[in-house]
Structure 1
Amino acid sequence: MKTYKIDIQGMTCTGCEEHVAEALKNIGAQNIDVSYQRGEAWFELPNDIDVESAKRAIDEANYQPGKVEEVEAQETVVLGEEGDYDFIIIGSGGAAFSAAIKAVEYGAKVAMIERGTVGGTCVNIGCVPSKTLLRAGEMNRMAKTNPFMGVHTFATDVELAALVKQKNELVSELRKQKYIDLISEYGFELIKGEAKFVNEKMIEVDGKRLTAKRFLIAAGAAPSIPNIPGLDEVDYLTSTTILELKELPKRLTVIGSGYVGMELGQLFHNLGSEVTLMQRGNRLLKEYDPEISDVVTQMLIEQGIQLVTGATFERVEQQGEIKKVYVEVDGKKKVIESEQLLIATGRKPNTESLNLQAAHVEVGSRGEVVIDEYLRTTNPRIYAAGDVTMGPQFVYAAAYQGGIAADNAIGGMNRKLNLEVVPAVTFTTPSIATVGLTEQQAKEKGIQVKTAVLPLNAVPRAIVNRETTGVFKLIADEKTLKVLGVHVVAENAGDVIYAATLAVKFGLTVEELQETMAPYLTMAEGLKLVALTVDKDVSKLSCCAG
């Protein structure tokens, strides 16, 4: 038997899937999987049946067959025979747990290796702790800057130690519920210690050697520290250590203004610190369209955060408790002083201690594990998923990858990684959310686009909230009007972007968004309004009028 994947045009529903599957079945195909959403079919054919017959069958069913690809057959894993384990997973974050649960469901004997705290970045030092503190910061800011006349609110000094204690209790509770308790629930084994490869089939954990039929590297990533003279002699903070501060600094300098720098910088600004955000580039969020980066810059300046862009970092010094950052901006030298210095210049994969060369696993220029579209490394027995591959740095993307890795490594499937439609959210106030292509990315792909930009002061929810700094932007294919990308800066942008994700993933058109009823006085209505902006002036429409 040979396995094939064929692209198919013309399928629009599950009924189309059934028609294609029946046509393939009639010519002798087996193990048929048809998806109208992906526009493809997977199936097996006996060696004596030519794949051209499959193309003819699809054509006769009134669909348009396209590119055909013979899929390399996966080596079947025989579970429960020789070796210590069927599947060893290095790491215990979102990718690791997703893979472990799925592998156990296949009947595999699974071990998970963790050198630190179970749960990985998200629950321990990333999403959960930062977002609960961000919410506290938002409440403190609103108490100080309430925009409503006649409503009198105030805020006293923040007790950071109490806030951090409450945060740690939440993290501990969620770590137990969502990670630790699941180990016994699913019956895989947790082994504490540092893992390193001995060869292609064996790892060593603190001196003990273990074998497995398949491995998954899901070791995550850690803060990356730039090479700035004097920095290694300074008591600086990272995204991990800043969340454990017990006293609020009067002044905080942040080197790096990506999503981590902006979130944590705004958090401490909202709690009461004077914050300076610094970066080498001249434009914030340079990978986003200008309308997004411009409004984010405006937002930060309006809130009183100091921005230093286009900076050349000369050196860093510490005098007593004061950290000094020496920079040159537009030919002028500056010194930025603060009690605390946060380094937020990206992340690096945790691969240094794994001895990957012993297992013939290649890494890229940043130390990331190199994988193919099936999440296999250069050693087909070893897979990798999550932040260690330097893909999208989101726990939901890592969990998705972990599931695919287990399907392929243990289930013998040939699932391909598809990261074309990954929503991203930066949890500032207002938040920044994006999915799909930017205008520039679409043009680089040779796509003629039609765009619409809607300032937030045209969205009724923002008007009644009295917070109108923000924007909606929509990118569509000029010919088909299919939605290619949506980018939002607004309160609850992260909630809005899920609807946009569905629109991009399933190929909805601008007209279909225009014809959809959106609840009035929700931020999600902005998605419909920006779709209307493609061919209408929404300022001349009455409330809810499409």
Structure 2
Amino acid sequence: MTRLKTDILVIGAGSGGLSVAAGAVQMGADVVLLEGHKMGGDCLNYGCVPSKALIASGKVAHAQAHAAQYGVADVAPKVDYAAAKDHVQDVIAQIEPVDSQERFEGLGVKVIREYGRFLSPTEVQAGETVITARRIVIATGSSPLVPPIPGLDTVPYETNETLFELREQPEHLLIVGGGPIGLEMAQAHRRLGSKVTVIEGAKALGKDDPELAAIVLDRLRAEGIEIAEEALAQEVRGAAGAIEIETKDGRIFKGTHLLMAVGRKSNTERLDLEAAGIETTKTGIKVDAALKTSNRRVYAIGDVAGGLQFTHVAGYHAGIIIRSALFGLPAKVRTDHIPYATYTDPELAQVGLSEAEARAAHGDALEVARFEYHHNDRAIAERKTTGLIKVMVVKGRPVGASIAGAQAGELINLWALVIANKLKMKHVANMVAPYPTIGEINKRAAGAYFSPRLFENAMVKRVVGAVQRWLP
């Protein structure tokens, strides 16, 4: 058995763990990184990267079939599903070197390709190596949650960890779960030529603003995707190529392939957390505002910490750890400025409070500024006029923004900046946006907030009138 001592031990080489390891070693810390599976974790191999690559293939196919509105003849796209998956793998391969073992060893990190498990509050075993560390960061991520639906154990199904290896195009894809993963893959596969049925036990996109979710769901249904809501899967039966799902209310859905997309579970089972005195919750490892576990030498970040499960959150957590573990400075997590997006077409994005949350928190003090895409000249030029932005404002300061429409995931960046830095609507109104851009939508939302104050205010009109009479 080999023994090592280090300043920082990182368990898990996903986005959060890699960010901690790279930052810590470049600032002078001795770092050991453990990874028992693939470098880059879920995001690179099974999540953000491959899903967006497949969505891109679907967009190209959809554009070919809907080109007439631009004066270009529609053509029926000839989709090679296996070649689309080759595109996905090529995208992964281009990004892989940034997350590779070779790169991190080049930075000075000792990389051990084994899973880690705690032996004590300060010791972790990885294969034939025992590491003692001053600080330990658990960044083991999450995995697909597969509920115990009767019959599911006898029927072949995909998750996000297997879907991108599938080479045979599904004739009719059944998707259990109407959240972001399920609906992104539903639209991508529909555009690539598969029939798609989404089966959701409650409301599709149920965590998002219902008015904006409806914009997205209407488009998906218009493209031919069947979305069954309040359809709780009760039984799965059949075999490869002939799968049936029966819901609690007796509805039966038939398809050739099945994708389970009902959520995620934190990866804690290999860690032997009890040996380190680390407490857990129903959603993951229990952490405080500084991301410390009940063992004060150990941090947990990203999905395994049981909060918001997004790659960019794991990266944000890594910055908190660098500040705290390396410099001993106080650092606490906040979530009010964390944006997220669903990459359907149109996209759906959110930061801060939704309208319902803001109304519950602020009551009559809340004002909602709205602006619709069909008033934006660039959206008109590109025939992407379906969309809406809503900005929740309290005493001139945005507390949330919700967007459904083209490039919503890009537009939300500005509001994340505004909320993170506690800026006001006047700062957005003062911005000059190039014309014509989709980005003008943000400025026009600020204009919608100020318009009643300027153009419907009797006092303003009296002042202007007086000034005009006084001026020579």
Distance 1:251 1:359 in 2: 47
Correspondent of 1:495 among 410, 421, 442: 410
Shift of 1:323: 0.9
Answer whether contact 1:453 1:474 (CA < 8 A) is retained. Answer: yes
Answer whether contact 1:214 1:410 (CA < 8 A) is retained. Answer: no
Higher helix share: 2
Q: Given the alignment of the two structures, is residue 164 of structure 1 paired with residue 82 of structure 2, yes or no? A: no
Correspondent of 1:216 among 105, 128, 137: 137
SS of the aligned residue for 1:362 comes to coil
After superposition, what is the alpha-carbon deviation per residue over 1:246-294, rounded to whole angstroms, capped at 9, x for unaligned? 121111111101111111111111111111111111x332222222122
Report matched runs for 1:10-159 at 5 Å: 84-148=5-69, 150-159=71-80
SS of the aligned residue for 1:488 comes to strand
Distance 2:71 2:385 in 1: 20
Answer whether contact 2:287 2:294 (CA < 8 A) is retained. Answer: yes
Distance 1:396 1:155 in 2: 37
SS of the aligned residue for 2:288 comes to coil
Other-structure match for 1:318? 238
Distance 2:19 2:172 in 1: 41
Q: 1:149 to 1:197 in 2, by over 3 A?
A: closer
Distance 2:131 2:99 in 1: 27
Q: 1:471 to 1:285 in 2, by over 3 A?
A: same
Shift of 1:342: 0.5
Other-structure match for 1:45? none
Other-structure match for 2:211? 291
Report matched runs for 1:24-423 at 5 Å: 84-148=5-69, 150-281=71-202, 283-329=203-249, 333-366=250-283, 368-423=284-339
Q: TM-score, normalised by structure 2?
A: 0.91
Correspondent of 1:469 among 362, 367, 386: 386
After superposition, what is the alpha-carbon deviation per residue over 1:161-201, rounded to whole angstroms, capped at 9, x for unaligned? 12212321321231113443431331011101121111111
The runs of 4+ residues in structure 1 deviating greater than 4 Å are none
Percent of aligned positions that are identical? 31
Answer whether contact 2:213 2:404 (CA < 8 A) is retained. Answer: no
Answer whether contact 1:254 1:265 (CA < 8 A) is retained. Answer: yes
Distance 2:122 2:196 in 1: 50
Answer whether contact 1:323 1:341 (CA < 8 A) is retained. Answer: yes
What is the count of residue pairs matched by the alignment? 450
Structure 1: segments with no counterpart, 5+ residues: 1-81, 541-546
Shift of 1:439: 1.5
Distance 2:100 2:240 in 1: 42
Q: 1:103 to 1:301 in 2, by over 3 A?
A: same
Q: One-letter code of the match for 1:529?
A: R
Answer whether contact 1:100 1:406 (CA < 8 A) is retained. Answer: no
Answer whether contact 2:216 2:347 (CA < 8 A) is retained. Answer: no
After superposition, what is the alpha-carbon deviation per residue over 1:77-99, rounded to whole angstroms, capped at 9, x for unaligned? xxxxx962121110001111111
Distance 1:196 1:149 in 2: 58
Answer whether contact 2:216 2:345 (CA < 8 A) is retained. Answer: no
Answer whether contact 1:431 1:491 (CA < 8 A) is retained. Answer: yes
Q: One-letter code of the match for 1:348?
A: K
Shift of 1:109: 1.6
SS of the aligned residue for 1:483 comes to strand
Answer whether contact 1:147 1:466 (CA < 8 A) is retained. Answer: no
Shift of 1:116: 0.3
Distance 2:232 2:412 in 1: 35
Q: Given the alignment of the two structures, is residue 428 of structure 1 paired with residue 344 of structure 2, yes or no? A: yes
Q: 1:149 to 1:200 in 2, by over 3 A?
A: closer
Answer whether contact 1:452 1:473 (CA < 8 A) is retained. Answer: yes
Q: One-letter code of the match for 2:230?
A: G
Q: 1:365 to 1:177 in 2, by over 3 A?
A: closer
Q: One-letter code of the match for 1:293?
A: A
Pick which of 414-423 and 148-157 moved more.
148-157
Distance 1:123 1:320 in 2: 28
Correspondent of 1:532 among 439, 447, 460: 447
Distance 1:420 1:230 in 2: 41
Pick which of 504-513 and 355-364 moved more.
504-513
SS of the aligned residue for 2:449 comes to coil
Answer whether contact 1:102 1:407 (CA < 8 A) is retained. Answer: no
Correspondent of 2:367 among 450, 454, 461: 450
Answer whether contact 2:68 2:74 (CA < 8 A) is retained. Answer: no
Shift of 1:512: 3.5
Distance 1:135 1:207 in 2: 43
Distance 1:474 1:404 in 2: 28
Distance 1:431 1:291 in 2: 14
Answer whether contact 2:286 2:306 (CA < 8 A) is retained. Answer: no
Shift of 1:533: 2.5
Q: 1:320 to 1:247 in 2, by over 3 A?
A: closer
Answer whether contact 2:246 2:252 (CA < 8 A) is retained. Answer: yes
Shift of 1:206: 2.2
Shift of 1:218: 0.4
Answer whether contact 2:240 2:257 (CA < 8 A) is retained. Answer: no
Distance 2:82 2:240 in 1: 23
Distance 2:426 2:322 in 1: 40
Q: One-letter code of the match for 1:203?
A: V
Distance 1:466 1:232 in 2: 46
Other-structure match for 1:48? none
Q: 1:175 to 1:497 in 2, by over 3 A?
A: same
Shift of 1:338: 0.8
Q: 1:350 to 1:467 in 2, by over 3 A?
A: same
